[in-house]
């Protein structure tokens, strides 16, 4: 196995592992979402939107999502670096920590999210992309359909998104 650079740049033997989220992971999902928004979306949204992005989300909100059984976490040395959630026909959430961006983690999580959204479903796969993630989604097969607002939000300032689809053959 080749050594990967760690997030802080030092060499180590760690490996990013994908696993199903489980009860008790809600705090990590909450933290990853908040840090991702503040670190990766800051150049694409107004400060008021960033400040209110989490809206009424709580750790319990994420625990409820986990309970549905469609959330996959990426972790390294026990630290949650990102996660993806999906429902039938749609990837609903994909967030990575800013310090983990650029390592191919988003690509791995998106692939899993698409696979899970496609189970038992034959139509195109949808995703509501943030403006900062639109190019990433396009590079991975999604096409912009229209602009709108995040439909999976919980209170807070409306978040502009790009509704995207991936045609399946």
Beta-bridge mates of residue 79: 76
C-alpha to C-alpha distances, 90 to 5, 34, 41, nearest whole angstrom: 32, 22, 21
Structure tokens that stand for 165 in this block: 């689809």
Which one-letter DSSP state was computed for residue 100? G
End-to-end Cα spacing for the chain? 34
The SS3 call for residue 95 is strand
**Average pLDDT score over residue span 144-149:** 94
Q: Is the pLDDT of residue 44 over 90?
A: yes
pLDDT digits (tens, 9 = 90+) for 80-99: 999 999 999 999 999 999 99
DSSP strand pairing (79-87 vs 160-166): unpaired
pLDDT of residue 154: 67
Please give the model's pTM, rounded to 2 decimal places: 0.88
Residue spans of alpha helices (H) in the chain: 26-40, 47-52, 59-67, 105-118, 134-139
Which one-letter DSSP state was computed for residue 9? S
pLDDT of residue 9: 39
Q: How far apart are CA 27 and CA 56, in angstroms?
A: 14
Q: Is the pLDDT of residue 36 over 50?
A: yes
pLDDT of residue 19: 97
How high is the mean pLDDT of the chain?
89
- 34-38, 52-56, 78-82, 141-145, range with the lowest pLDDT: 52-56
Element (H, E) at 98: none
* Sign of the four-CA dihedral 45, 47, 49, 52: positive
């Amino acid at each position: 196995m080749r050594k990967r650079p760690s997030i802080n740049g030092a060499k180590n033997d760690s490996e990013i592992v994908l696993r199903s989220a489980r009860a008790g992971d809600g705090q990590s999902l909450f933290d990853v979402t908040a840090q991702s928004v503040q670190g990766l979306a800051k150049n694409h949204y107004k400060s008021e939107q960033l400040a209110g992005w989490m809206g009424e989300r709580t750790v319990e909100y994420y625990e409820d999502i986990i309970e549905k059984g469609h959330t996959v976490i990426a972790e390294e040395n026990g630290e949650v670096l990102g996660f993806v959630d999906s429902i039938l026909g749609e990837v609903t959430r994909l967030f990575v920590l800013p310090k983990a961006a650029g390592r191919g983690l988003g690509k791995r999580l998106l692939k899993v999210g698409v696979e899970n959204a496609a189970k038992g479903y034959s139509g195109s796969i949808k995703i509501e992309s943030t403006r900062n993630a639109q190019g990433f989604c396009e590079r991975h097969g999604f096409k912009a359909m229209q602009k709108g607002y995040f439909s999976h939000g919980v209170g807070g300032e409306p978040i502009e998104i790009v509704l995207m689809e991936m045609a399946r053959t």
